[in-house]
Amino acid sequence: MSNRTLTLTAPLYDYLLAASLREPELLRRLREETAAKVRYPGMQIAPEQGQLMTLLVRLVGARRAIEIGTYTGYSSLCIAMGLPANGQLIACDISEAYTAVARRYWQEAGLATRIELRLAPALETLDRLIADGEADRFDFAFVDADKDGYAGYYERCLTLVRPGGLIGLDNMLWDGAVADPARDDADTVAIRAVTAQIRDDSRVDISLVPIGDGLMLARKR
């Protein structure tokens, strides 16, 4: 028994996966293909985090979602799988090559009509959505792109989601670097800063969940 969050040892992590992971075969294949053939497979979210995200999308009853940072599509599929048949996910990325893999799996999953890829710097896409009158019209947002962009993405997502909508921000524990005072690189400093900004933001209810590389959840009040 413990009244603080456990350290996940390798055997305990293996147990967690064996005891609770329900990863669809298509997602497992995407994970394996990304690991074998694509650069930087560590950018993909962990499968147990993907399962949590599908659950969260369903819990908020999301119909419209935004993702910032799609890569080969693992997290986009986890979000899209949680949406209803008439749901919509706007997926933002700047890489044609990474998202070509994602598109192939969206097709195979039968979810391609639910996902709209916007290949452009995400800040431009988000500002365009706001300019087009889409404020308060999304239910769920997931931020997982360039870390020095997080503060800007957070503010835009807070505008775009409705009250009661949920924003998830990935990599908020940054492989532990955030807790190492010797680390002062730009990404680590940016993550610490946006974390403090969200902690002190009375517009949201929050939890920093120690799953994967740290998932900050912020629910718009």
Binding site for Ca ion (CB under 5 A): 144, 170-171
CA distance 132 to 123: 14
Q: Which of residues 158-197 bind ligand SAM (CB under 6 A)?
A: none
In degrees, rounded to 5, the angle at the alpha carbon of residue 35 between the alpha carbons of residues 191 and 115 is: 70
Among 57, 109, 117, 122, binds ligand SAM (CB under 6 A): 122
Q: Which does 195 bind (CB under 5 to 8 A by kind): Ca ion, ligand SAM, none?
A: none
152 binds ligand SAM (CB under 6 A): no
Q: Which does 92 bind (CB under 5 to 8 A by kind): Ca ion, ligand SAM, none?
A: ligand SAM
212 binds ligand SAM (CB under 6 A): no
CB of 94 to ligand SAM, least distance (A): 4
45 binds ligand SAM (CB under 6 A): yes
Residues 25 and 31 sit within 8 Å (Cβ to Cβ): no
157 binds ligand SAM (CB under 6 A): no
Beta bridge partners of 135: none
122 versus 191: smaller Cβ distance to ligand SAM: 122
**DSSP state for residue 60 in the 8-state scheme:** T
CB of 74 to Ca ion, least distance (A): 10
Among 48, 95, 137, 152, binds ligand SAM (CB under 6 A): 95
CB of 113 to ligand SAM, least distance (A): 20
Q: Which does 95 bind (CB under 5 to 8 A by kind): Ca ion, ligand SAM, none?
A: ligand SAM
Three-class DSSP category at 142: strand
CA distance 12 to 89: 34
- In sequence order, the 6+-apart residues with CB closer than 8 A to the CB of 122 are 68, 69, 92, 93, 94, 145, 149, 153
Q: Which does 165 bind (CB under 5 to 8 A by kind): Ca ion, ligand SAM, none?
A: none
Cα–Cα distances in angstroms (integers) from residue 202 to residues 62, 150, 177, 205, in the given order: 23, 18, 26, 8
Sheet holding 115-119, edge to edge: 115-119, 88-93, 64-68, 138-143, 161-169, 215-220, 204-209
* Binding interface with ligand SAM (CB under 6 A): 43-45, 69-72, 74-75, 92-95, 98, 121-122, 144-146, 149
